[in-house]
Amino acid sequence: MTMIDLTLAVLVLLITPGPTNTLLFLAGAERGWRSALRLIPAELAGYLVMVVPLALVGVAVLHDAPRARALVAIAAGLWVAWLAIKLWLPQTGRRGGQRVSTALVFTTTMLNPKTLIFGLVLLPSPDALGPHLVLFSTLVVAVATGWAGFGAWLGGVSGGEAGAMLWIRRGASVWLSVVSLTLLAKGLGA
């Protein structure tokens, strides 16, 4: 795979709406673009914690333990279902509702099924892992910046009104429910 092919493959996968992108979008809508940018290191760390070991030894491990992929899909599906429920429920306590945290972004990214594709399919290359990881990291930051910006724009358009933010959170919740059901179906072999 050439670097151009790798760039396009990684970019398409990163841009695809998923749990981490949904959280960055929501953070942008809730607190603005600049504040949401502070979550990007957590996303990058979550990806690298999973992708690097997968790229180095994952193929061999999953070959010896074929049920591991199903278990990862089920765990990710349950986590995303929990996120969907959390986003749907009314937020109480804090003014403006509960915010997306770095820990939530980190954990969600680690459990993001995209890590399997990055670590097992797109990035493994013993002689080019370093350059591939630099490219990957750059694209993660660029795409995350875009999702946070899109959320900030939509939050700005809505004026940050509580009712509008509730519908943004609920829309994100519905999307995450679809992602969760897809992951659980894959993990359970449906």
49: left (phi over 0), alpha (psi -120 to 50) or beta: alpha
Quote the strand ranges of the chain, DSSP E.
none
Q: What is the pLDDT of residues 54-75, one digit of tens each?
A: 888 876 776 677 687 788 778 8
Read off the tokens for 155. Answer: 């939050």
Q: What is the pLDDT of residues 148-188, one digit of tens each?
A: 999 998 888 766 666 677 777 788 788 888 878 887 888 88
Q: What is the pLDDT of residues 92-148, one digit of tens each?
A: 554 445 588 999 999 999 988 888 888 887 887 767 889 999 999 999 999 999 999
The dihedral through the CA atoms of 120, 122, 128, 132 has a sign that is negative
Pairwise CA distance, residues 126 & 106, whole Å: 26
Which of 85, 108, 99 minimizes the C-alpha distance to 30? Answer: 99
Q: What is the pLDDT of residues 129-138, one digit of tens each?
A: 899 999 999 9
- The confidence score (pLDDT) of residue 162 equals 66
Read off the tokens for 30. Answer: 């809730």
Of the candidate ranges 8-22, 69-83, 85-99, 117-131, the one whose mean pLDDT is the lowest: 85-99
Contact 99, 27 (CB under 8 A): yes
